[in-house]
Amino acid sequence: MSDKTPAANKDKTPFRAPAKALNFGLIAAIAAFVVIMLLPTPEGLPIAGQRMLAIFMFAVIIWVTEAVDFAVSAILIAAMIAVTLGLSPAVGDSDTLLGTSKALGTAITGFSSRALILVASALLLSAAMTLTGLDRRIAMMVLSKVGAKVSHIVIGSIVVATLLAFLVPSATARAAAVIPIMMGIVATFGAGKQSRFAGLLIMTTVQAVSIWNVGIKTAAAQNMVAVGFLQRILGVEITWLDWFIAAAPFSLLMSVALYFVMMRMMPPEHDTVPGGRESVAAALKEIGPMTGAEKRLLVVSLLLVFCWATEGVLHHFDSATLTVLAVTFLLLPGVGVMNWKQANAKFPWGTIVLFGVGISLGSALLSTGAASWLAKSAVDIFGLSGFGTLGIVAVLGGFLIVIHLGFASATALASSMIPIIIAVLQQMDNGSVNVFGTTILLQFVVSFGFILPVNSPQGMVAHGTDTFAVKDFVRTGLVLTVIAYGLTLVFTATYWKWLGLA
C-alpha cells in the first residue's frame, strides 16, 4: 500500500459524536405519562379523560422544562392524542373505540379556530413591519422628541412599547424591534452595557412590552388562545374595543407604576445624557425618508386599528377577517409591501403549530371530561365553592402567577390553564359568577411574566443584551407583580365589576 495515504485516512480513531446530557425533562414527562396511564381510573372520569390527563401532564412538564423545542412538543402532543385517544373507548360508549381517525381530527381541531387565523395574520403583519423598517422608524421618531434627560428617555421607551402594541401584534417582534434601538441609544450616548442606565432602559422597555400584552387584545398570542377557547366552549366573543376598554386603563396605570418603580430601584448614573437629542436625530436621519412601502403599511395599519376598534359599532367584520384582508393587501404584487418569500422567511411557523395544538389539547380535555373532573378537584382543593368573583380571582390569579414561574411561554400557559379555568368556573356557575368575564380577568393575569427573564420570549431577548443582572430583573419584577396583582383585585372589585365582567 502506498505510504502517501492522506493523513485523514491514517487516523484510525473512530469518530465519536459528542456526548449529550440526559434530557431529564423529557424523561420526567414520559414517566408522568406512563404513571397516570397505569393508575386506576378515578370514579366519574372516563378512560379517555384519564388518558388525556396523562397527555396533559406530559405537555405541562415538557413546556415547563423546555425539554424540546415548543414546535416539536406540539407535534409530539398531537401524535399522542391521535394514538392514545384513538385507542380509548369513546366517551359515553365504553364498548366502542374512538378510532385514530377521529382522534386525529380532535388533535387538529385548533387549526380551524378563528383565533389561529387572527394570530397567523397578525404575525404576517409583524413581518411586514420588520421588513419595511416602519417599527424602527416609529421608535426613533418618538425618541427624537423626548430630549436628553434620562427620565424622558425612559418615558419614551414606554411610549414606544405602547404605540407598537397597537401596530405590531407580537410581543416578541416588538421586543426584537425596540431593544436593538435602545442598545443603539446606549452606545450612542457612550454608556457602557453594564451601566445602570443600560439596565434601566432595557428592563423598562421589555416590561412595558409585557404590560401592554394585557391592554390590547391583538398584542399577544396568549390572548388569542383565551379568545379561541371562549368561542369554542361558550360561543361568546369579545371585540377588540371591549377588550381595550376593559384592559387599557389597567395597562396605563401599570405603565405609570413601571416608570416610578424602575427609576427608584434602578437609578441612572446621570440625570442627563450629553448630546442625546442630537445622537437620536442623527440616527433618524440615517434611516432616510419614508419609503412608499412604509407609507402604505402605515396607512393599512392605522386603518386596521380603526376597524378593530369599531367592530360591532360601524361594521360587522370580525377582527380575524379584517386582519386577513389587511395582510392580503400587503402581499399583493405592485401595491403590497412584501412577497411571500420575504414574509415566509420572517414567519414563526413554530408559534402557529404550538398555538393550534394548544387549543386542540384544551378542547380534548373538555370533550373527554378530563377538564370537568380536574375542575371539581380544584374547587375542593382551593375551597372555592363559597367564593365570589373577587375571591376566585384572588386565589386563581395568585396560582397563575406562581405557576407562570415555571413556563417560558404565556401561550403555553394559556393553552394549559384556560380550559381548566373555564371548567372550574362552570362548576361554580350558580348565578353569582360570570364565567366569560372572570375568564377574561384571569387571562389578563396570564400575561404577568414580570419576574424572570425566562418567563417570556421578550424577556429572553432582553436578557441576551447582557445589560442587567437577573437579580435586578427579579427584584424589580417582584415589585411590579405585587402591584399588578393588587391592581387586579382593585379593578375586579370596582371598574371591571361596573363593566359587568366581575
What SS3 class is residue 96? strand
Helices (runs of H) and strands (runs of E) counted in the chain: 25, 2
DSSP state of 149: B
| Other beta carbons within 10 Å of 63 | 27
pLDDT at residue 5, as a whole number: 45
For position 13, what pLDDT does the model report? 46
Cα dihedral sign, 309-315-319-323: negative
Cα distances (angstroms) measured from residue 403 to each of 304, 360, 384, 461: 35, 21, 18, 22
At residue 18, the pLDDT reads 45
Instruction: Give me the torsion for CA of 443, 446, 447, 451, rounded to 10°.
Output: 160
Q: Are 215 and 244 in contact (CB under 8 A)?
A: yes
For the entire predicted model, the pTM comes to 0.81
Q: How far apart are CA 151 and CA 267, in angstroms?
A: 10
Per residue of the chain (502 residues), give pLDDT as tens: 444 444 444 444 444 444 445 688 899 999 999 999 999 999 889 999 999 999 999 998 988 888 888 889 999 999 999 999 999 999 888 888 889 999 999 999 889 888 888 888 888 988 898 899 888 888 888 877 876 688 888 998 999 899 989 988 888 888 887 887 788 777 766 667 778 888 999 999 999 999 999 999 999 889 988 998 898 888 888 999 999 999 999 999 999 999 999 999 998 877 776 666 666 777 778 888 899 999 999 999 999 999 999 988 888 898 889 999 999 999 999 899 999 999 999 888 888 888 889 889 988 988 898 888 888 887 777 777 778 889 999 999 998 998 888 777 788 888 888 988 998 888 775 567 889 999 999 999 999 989 988 788 888 888 888 888 889 999 999 999 999 999 999 999 999 999 999 8
Given this model, what pLDDT does residue 274 score? 61
pLDDT for 429 equals 57
The CA distance from 419 to 422, in Å, is: 5
Grid coordinates belonging to 129: 413591519
Helix, strand, or coil (residue 95) = strand
Which pLDDT score, from 0 to 100, does residue 190 have? 65
CA pair distance 369, 478, nearest whole angstrom = 37
Report the alpha-carbon distance of residue 7 to residue 29 in Å, rounded.
46
Nearest-angstrom CA–CA distance, 256 and 276: 23
The three grid cell numbers given for residue 502, joined into one nine-digit string: 366581575
Residue 489 · residue 390 · CB < 8 Å: yes
